[in-house]
Amino acid sequence: MSTYFLLAILLLGFIITFQIAKASEYVGILKGEKKNNEQNNRINGFLMIIFLVLGLIGVYVCNEVFKARILGKSASDHGEKIDLMMSITIVITGIVFIITQVLLFWFAFKYQYSEKRKGYYFPHNNQLELIWTVVPAIALTVLVGFGLRYWFQITGEAPKNAALIEITGKQFNWIYRYPGKDEVFGKKYYKNINDAENNSLGLLWDDEKSHDDIVVSSAMVLVVNQPVKLIINSRDVIHDVGIVAFRMKMDAVPGTPTTMWFTPKYTTEEMKKMTNNPDFEYEISCDQMCGKGHFSMKGIIQVVTAEEFVLWRAKQVPNYVLVMKDKMPAAATDSVKTAVVTGAAGKLVAAK
Amino acid sequence: MSTDLSIHEHGEAVVAHDLHDAGHEAHHHKETFITKYVFSQDHKMICKQFLITGMIWAILGGLMSVLFRLQLGYPDSTFPWLEDIMGKWAKGGKIQPEAYYALITMHGTVLVFFVLTGGLSGTFANFLIPLQIGARDMASPFLNMLSYWFFWMASVVMITSLFIETGPASGGWTSYPPLSALGDASVGSQAGMDFWIAAMALFVVSSLLGGLNYITTILNMRTKGMSMTRLPLTIWALFFTAILGVLSFPVLLSGLILLLFDRHGGTSFYLSDIFISSTQKPLPNEGGSPILFQHLFWFLGHPEVYIIILPAMGLVSEVMAINSRKPIFGYMAMIGSLFAITILAFLVWAHHMFVTGLNPFLGSVFVLLTLLIAVPSAIKVFNWLTTLWRGNIRFTPAMLFAIGFVSMFISGGLTGVFLGNSTLDIHLHDTYFIVAHFHIVMGVSAFMGMFCGVYHWFPKMYGRYLNNTMAYIHFWVTFAGAYLIFWPMHYEGLAGMPRRYLDYSGWSSFNQFVELNRFISTVAMIVFAVQIMFVFNFFYSIFKGRKVTTQNPWQANTLEWTTPIRPGHGNWPGEIPEVHRWAYDYGKDGAKDGKDFILQTEPLGADEQHH
C-alpha cells in the first residue's frame, strides 16, 4: 500500500513541477526573452557559488564523519607503505582538486553574462599551455617514482625465511594447505579432486611429499612478524584473495598459480585491543566476482605468536592421514603425526 | 537557388521557411512513412533513432540500478511488489543473488555499450558530422541506416535475454571466463551468455559500420574551405572516437568468438584445471589461460572508456565556447590532447589487471603509460577553465551541463591517479573506490556531456526548445545528486569494501556503512526520478515545446546554424556554404552589426589573418 502511496506522491510532484515549468515559460515570454535570460543567469550564477561553498563544506563534513571508519591501522609492513603512498597522493590530488574546482565555479560566477562586457578574445597562449603540460607531468613523475619503488618492494621476491602457505579458492570458500615438515608441497592434479573422499585439492598420494601436507578450511593461521608467501590457486573460476587489514590483494586464477607475500605485524588479539573491537577478525574477502555466493566467500586468518602456532600445528592431522584412516588401520599413521610436529617446531627455531 | 538566398546570420523565420520548402523541391523524392521514419537514410533521422533507442535503454539500465540499490540500501527488508514484477528472481520480495548479479551485469552492459556508446556516439556523430562539416549526408547513407538497424537487432537480442528461463548473463559486464564460460558455475552463464555474446557481436557490427562511415565522411566530404584545422572540436572528438572504435571493437569480437568456442566447441582458450563443485566433475580442458580473455577484453575495454568520454569532451568544448562568447582556449592543444589520448588509450589496458598475477615489470610499464594520460587530460581541463575566464557566460541548460561535466571530469580524473598507480591499486582494486571513480569520470561525466549536447542541439533536431525550468531542475538535482551518490563511495572504497556484493552484514570489515548505503540508495532514486522528468520534457517538447523562430538561436558560428530551422534531407536547400574561417571567432573585433560572433561562412576581413 505504501508503495502506491509513494508512487502517487511522485506523480503529484511531477504534475506540479510540470505546471510550474509551463507557467514559467509563459511568464518568460511575457517578460521578454532578454529579461528572462538575465534572470536565469543571475539565479544560476548564484547557485554556482552556493554549490561550491556547500560542496567544500560537504567534503569536510564527509571526511570528519568517515575518517574513523576507513583505513584503520595497517597490520602488515606492505600495508604501511601503501598507506603512506595513499597519503601522498591524497595531498597532491587534494590540492589540485580544490584549486581547479574553486576556479571553475568562481569563473562561472564572476564572468556570468553582463550586457556591458564582451568576451575577451583569447584564443591561445603558448606559455600558459606549456606550464600546464609541464607541472602535471612533474607531479605525476613524483607519484610514479614513489609508486613504482613501493610496487617493486611489494611484488619483489619474498625473503628466504618466508613461510609457504597455499590458498585455493573455490565456489564459495577457501582451502589452505601447509607443506608439512619437509617444507615442500606434494604434487597435485585437479582431476584427482574428490570432495567425498576428503581430497579437496586433488593431492597425488604417489608423491610422498604430499603425505605430510596439512589441508584446512576453517582458518589460515599465520605467525606474527614472520614473512609469509601465499601461493594462490583456484579450483574453478577466478577468485581474489583480498585482505583489507594487510592492504593486500591478488587474483586466484585457475591453471595459473599466483603469489603474494607480506609480514603480519600484529596478532589477532593485539588487533582486537588496538581497534577497540572485540569482534575484530582478519577477513579474506573474495574481490573478483565468482558467482552467486561471491558476497559471502569469506575466509578467516588468525595471526598468532610462534608458540601458539606450534601448538596449533601439533593438533593438525595431514590430509593423507585423514584419507588413509578410512582405508587402513590407524597404527601406521601415528609416526607421521609426531614427525610433523617436530618438523614444525624445528622450522620456527630456525626462523628466529 | 541563387547564392544571395543562401543564408548567413540573417535567419528570419520567413526566409527560413521559404528555403525549407525550396529545399524539399530541390531534393524531391517520394517519401513514405517507412522511408522517412523507419528505414530512413537521412542522418538526422538516424540520429533521432539512436537517441531515442539510447533513452529507452538508459531508463531500463537506470531502473536496474534502482532495483539493486534497493537491495544494497535495505538488505534486511522485503518488498512484495518486487516479486510481482520479477517473479522467481525476487522470491518473497527479496532480490535473489542470481538476480542481483544479473542486474549489475546488465546495468553495466547497457549503460556502457547501448547508452554511452550507441546512444552518445550514434546520436551526435550522425547529427553533427554532416551538418558541421557541410555535407548533405554521410558518405554512405545506406551503411548508416544499417548501422542503426544492427544496433536495433543487438538491442532486441539483449532485451530478449532478460526474459529467458535461466536469466540473462550475470558474470559482470566484463564477462570474465571461466565464470562466463561455464553454465554449471552460474545460471547466467547458460543461455543468457549466448544471447549476450550474440547481442554484442551485432553491436560491434553496428559500431564498425557507423565508425567507418564517420571517418570516411569527415575525411572526404568537408565543404569547400573546411580544412581539418577549421573543424569544430566536436568533429575532431567524434573522428578520434570513430578511430578508437574501429581499431578496438574487432578485438573484443575475436575475444568473444573464442569464448563461444570454449563454451560450445570444446576448445580451451580460456579454460584450464577446472573442477566444478556443483557437479563434482573435473573438466577435460587444460592449458588455456583466463588471463588471455582479460587482455583481449581490455584492449577494447580501455579504449571504450575514451570512446565514451571523447564525444562528451567535444560537445562540451563547443558549447562552452559558444556560451562563454569566447574562442575555445588552445584549439590546437585541444586537438593535440585528443590525439594523445587516442594513442595512449591503446597502451594502458593492463592497468585493469595489476592484481591478476601480471609480471610486476610489465605492470610498471603500464603505470607509467597510464599516468601519462593525466597530462593531456590536465591540458584539457585547464583549457576549459581558461575558456571561462573573462568570458561573458550565458547559463543556458547546455552550458550548465558543460560546467557540470568539467567538475565531474576533474573529480573522477583525480581518483584515476590513485588507481593508475599499481601500488595503490593493490588495495583499491575492485572496491567501491573504483566504482566511484568510473561512475564519476565516464558515467556521470559522459551523461553530462550527452545532456549538454541534447539541450544545445534539440532546437536544431526538432525546431523547438526544451522547457527551461525543467532543464534547470534536471541539472541541479542531477549534479548535486551525482556527487551525493558517488563521493561517499570513495570512503567505502578506502575501507576496502568490495564491489559486487549484495549484502555486507556478514563482514566485520565492511558492515560500518549501513546508513551510508541507505543514504546513497535514497539519493539514487531521487536522481532517477528526475531523469524521468527529463524524458518527459524531451517528448513533450518535441510536440509542444516553444517554437524556434530564429535560424541561429545560440548565436553560434558553425554550419548547422546556416541551415533552415527544420532542414530537409540534404540539409541545405541551395549550394552548400563555403567556409572561410575557424569555428571560434567569438568576441572578436570586426564582427558586423554589433554582434559578437562571426559565422564560419563569413569571408575574412581585409585586416584579418587566416586561422
Nearest to B427 among A82, A97, A101 (CB): A82
Cα gap A168→A193, rounded to integer Å: 12
Band of the pLDDT at A322, cuts 50, 70, 90? confident
Q: CA of B406, closest CA in chain A: separation in Å?
A: 8
**Under 8 Å CB-to-CB from A345, ≥6 apart: which residues?**
A310, A313
From B128-137, B329-338, B585-594, the region with the lowest mean pLDDT? B585-594
Hey, which bits of chain A come out as E strands?
Answer: 163-170, 173-178, 214-216, 220-223, 228-234, 239-243, 248-252, 258-262, 282-286, 298-304
Band of the pLDDT at B590, cuts 50, 70, 90? confident
Nearest to A147 among B101, B421, B430 (CB): B421
Q: Which one of A33, A116, A171, A292 would you mutate to disrupt binding with B, by most B Cβ within 10 Å of its Cβ?
A: A292
Higher pLDDT residue, A27 or B254?
B254
Tell me the residue length of chain B: 611
Nearest to A171 among B185, B291, B532 (CB): B185
Residue B447 host element (H or E): helix B445-462
Confidence (pLDDT) at A328: 63
Say yes or no for a CB contact (<8 Å) between A193 and B506.
no
Say yes or no for a CB contact (<8 Å) between A202 and B275.
yes
Q: Does position A299 have pLDDT exceeding 50, yes or no? A: yes
% of chain B residues with pLDDT over 70 = 95
Say yes or no for a CB contact (<8 Å) between A295 and B503.
yes
For A153, the closest chain B residue by CA position comes to B423
Confidence (pLDDT) at B594: 78
Q: Does position A352 have pLDDT exceeding 50, yes or no? A: no
Band of the pLDDT at A1, cuts 50, 70, 90? low
Q: Does position B23 have pLDDT exceeding 50, yes or no? A: no
For B427, the closest chain A residue by CA position comes to A247
Which whole-number Å values give the CA distances from B93 to B75, B84, B88, B107, in the listed order? 11, 8, 9, 20
Q: Does position B516 have pLDDT exceeding 90, yes or no? A: yes
Q: CA of A254, closest CA in chain B: separation in Å?
A: 6
Helix (H, G, I), strand (E, B) or coil at B558: coil
Say yes or no for a CB contact (<8 Å) between B97 and A292.
yes
- Compute the average pLDDT of residues B472-500: 96
Confidence (pLDDT) at B11: 38
Residues of B with Cβ-Cβ distance to A289 under 8 angstroms: 101, 171-172, 176, 179, 500
pLDDT digits (tens, 9 = 90+) for B457-485: 999 999 999 999 999 999 999 999 999 99
Band of the pLDDT at B611, cuts 50, 70, 90? low
Residues of A with Cβ-Cβ distance to B274 under 8 angstroms: 190, 235-237, 254-255
Q: Which three cell numbers stand for residue B376?
A: 593531456
pLDDT digits (tens, 9 = 90+) for A281-296: 999 999 999 999 999 9
Question: pTM of this prediction?
Answer: 0.92
The two most distant CA atoms of chain B are separated, in Å, by: 84
DSSP letter assigned to residue B272: -
Residues of B with Cβ-Cβ distance to A34 under 8 angstroms: none
Q: Does position B34 have pLDDT exceeding 90, yes or no? A: no
Confidence (pLDDT) at A275: 87
Q: Does position B22 have pLDDT exceeding 60, yes or no? A: no
Residues of B with Cβ-Cβ distance to A128 under 8 angstroms: 382, 386
Percent helix, strand and coil across chain A, each to the nearest 5: 55, 20, 30
Q: Which one of A132, A175, A188, A279 would you mutate to disrupt binding with B, by most B Cβ within 10 Å of its Cβ?
A: A132
Say yes or no for a CB contact (<8 Å) between A190 and B282.
yes
Q: What is the overall mean pLDDT for chain B?
A: 92
Q: Quick count: other Cβ atoms within 10 Å of Cβ B16?
A: 23
- Please report the number of interchain residue pairs, chain A to chain B, with beta-carbon separation below 8 angstroms: 376
Nearest to A255 among B273, B406, B415 (CB): B273
pLDDT digits (tens, 9 = 90+) for B274-316: 999 999 999 999 999 999 999 999 999 999 999 999 999 999 9
Which of B319, B371, B228, B374 lies closest to B560 in space, CA to CA? B319
Residues of A with Cβ-Cβ distance to B510 under 8 angstroms: 244, 285
Which of B244, B110, B278, B466 lies closest to A171 in space, CA to CA? B278
From A347-351, B10-14, B192-196, B297-301, the region with the lowest mean pLDDT? B10-14
Nearest to A247 among B290, B356, B427 (CB): B427
Confidence (pLDDT) at B95: 93
Higher pLDDT residue, A329 or A278?
A278
Q: Which one of A6, A124, A127 would you mutate to disrupt binding with B, by most B Cβ within 10 Å of its Cβ?
A: A124
3-state secondary structure B526-544: HHHHHHHHHHHHHHHHHHH
- Compute the average pLDDT of residues B544-559: 93
DSSP letter assigned to residue B443: I
Q: Does position B17 have pLDDT exceeding 80, yes or no? A: no
For B492, the closest chain A residue by CA position comes to A70
Confidence (pLDDT) at B199: 97
Confidence (pLDDT) at B3: 37
- Compute the average pLDDT of residues B425-454: 96
Q: CA of A267, closest CA in chain B: separation in Å?
A: 16
Cα gap B375→B128, rounded to integer Å: 28
Say yes or no for a CB contact (<8 Å) between B324 and A119.
yes
Say yes or no for a CB contact (<8 Å) between B360 and A236.
no
Residue B232 half-sphere exposure toward CB, CA atoms < 13 A? 33
Residues of A with Cβ-Cβ distance to B403 under 8 angstroms: 48, 104-105, 108
* Range list of H helices, B221-347: 233-264, 290-324, 331-345
Q: Does position B118 have pLDDT exceeding 90, yes or no? A: yes
Residues of B with Cβ-Cβ distance to A37 under 8 angstroms: 394
Cα gap B321→B144, rounded to integer Å: 30
* Range list of H helices, B162-271: 191-220, 233-264
Cα gap B306→B395, rounded to integer Å: 27
DSSP letter assigned to residue B283: -
Q: What is the overall mean pLDDT for chain A?
A: 89
Q: Could you report the predicted ipTM of this complex, rounded to two decimals?
A: 0.91
DSSP letter assigned to residue B37: I
Q: Does position A120 have pLDDT exceeding 70, yes or no? A: yes
For A114, the closest chain B residue by CA position comes to B392
Q: CA of B195, closest CA in chain A: separation in Å?
A: 18
For A115, the closest chain B residue by CA position comes to B392
- Compute the average pLDDT of residues A117-136: 90
Radius of gyration of chain B (CA): 25
For B80, the closest chain A residue by CA position comes to A3
Q: CA of B424, closest CA in chain A: separation in Å?
A: 6
Say yes or no for a CB contact (<8 Å) between B277 and A195.
yes
DSSP letter assigned to residue B222: P
Residue B165 half-sphere exposure toward CB, CA atoms < 13 A? 0
Confidence (pLDDT) at B434: 96
For B487, the closest chain A residue by CA position comes to A59
Nearest to B410 among A29, A70, A101 (CB): A101
Q: CA of B23, closest CA in chain A: separation in Å?
A: 30
Say yes or no for a CB contact (<8 Å) between A288 and B395.
no
Band of the pLDDT at B29, cuts 50, 70, 90? low
pLDDT digits (tens, 9 = 90+) for A21-50: 989 888 888 888 888 888 899 999 999 999
Q: Does position B531 have pLDDT exceeding 90, yes or no? A: yes
* 8 Å CB contact between B538 and B528: no
pLDDT digits (tens, 9 = 90+) for B370-425: 999 999 999 999 999 999 999 999 999 999 999 999 999 999 999 999 999 999 99
For A148, the closest chain B residue by CA position comes to B364
Confidence (pLDDT) at A342: 47
Residues of A with Cβ-Cβ distance to B378 under 8 angstroms: 132-133, 136
Confidence (pLDDT) at B425: 95
Cα gap B210→A344, rounded to integer Å: 66
Band of the pLDDT at B10, cuts 50, 70, 90? very low
For B597, the closest chain A residue by CA position comes to A119
Q: What is the DSSP string of B89-149?
A: GGGGGS--HHHHHHHHHHHHHIIIIIIIIIIHHHHHHHHHHHHHHT-SS-S-HHHHHHHHH
Name residue B86's beta-bridge partners.
Answer: none
Say yes or no for a CB contact (<8 Å) between A18 and B383.
no
Say yes or no for a CB contact (<8 Å) between A255 and B287.
yes
Q: Does position B19 have pLDDT exceeding 70, yes or no? A: no
Q: What is the DSSP string of A106-157?
A: HHHHHTB--TT---------HHHHHHHHHHHHHHHHHHHHHHHHHHHHHHSP
Residue B24 host element (H or E): helix B13-26
Q: Does position A108 have pLDDT exceeding 60, yes or no? A: yes
Nearest to A25 among B289, B325, B468 (CB): B468
Higher pLDDT residue, B239 or A4?
B239
